[in-house]
Amino acid sequence: MSIYKFRVLLDVDSNDSIFRDVEIKSTQTFFDLHEIIVASFGFDNSQMASFYLSDEGWNRGQEIALFDMNLEGDDSRILVMEQTKINTQITCVGAHLLYSYDFLNMRNFFIELIESKVKEDETAFYPKVVYSQGEPPLAEADQSMMSEEEIADQLLRESGFEDDDDDLFNDDLFEDFDDFENFQ
């Protein structure tokens, strides 16, 4: 059995390189690789995802999906992450994968096998992150972790309202219910 070291690079529109180097046993599954990628980038693991075997030009090949989504009568064969060991699809250093997470926001990753070691660290737990660089930008979908009040405040700020809540709805006519009764 070998230990594979993958470089997992997040595809972002910036000059910063955001990546993780992950070590995993070659006999572990693509689901194990999926879980360490999601955890290492701080995602919540609530979205669909797929790996794609790739060539050096990063063209998509065979899909390895999170779930079996084949329809009856569909002849295409989609592999499932939990049932597919990594070493059945990745066999040499330099092999490429594409990984798509959260199909709504399309977080894409370029993955390359950068090292293969025959001897494993018997005391180590795999998979594990061995190097981390950069933090992923917050996507709109990540706002789901914000409270409703935080989302409302953000929307108001984006619409040009000031951050001071007192100025938003300042009405000197009514300070309490007694003032309302006097107004009628």
Find, among 6, 100, 114, 110, the residue nearest to 55 by Cα.
110
pLDDT digits (tens, 9 = 90+) for 96-146: 999 999 888 789 999 999 999 987 677 889 999 999 999 887 654 454 556
- Domain of 160 in residue numbering reads as 138-170
Q: Does pLDDT of 159 surpass 70?
A: no
Whole-number Å distance between alpha carbons of 24 and 44:
21
Instruction: Decide if 106 is inside a domain.
Output: yes
| Residues in CB range of 172: below 8 A, 6 or more apart | none
Q: If you count DSSP H runs as helices and E runs as strands, how many of each does the chain have, helices first?
A: 4, 8
Average pLDDT over residues 55-61: 94
Percent of the chain with pLDDT over 70: 70
The answer to pTM > 0.85 is no
3-state secondary structure at position 26: coil
Domain presence at residue 178: no
Residues 165 and 129 in one domain: no
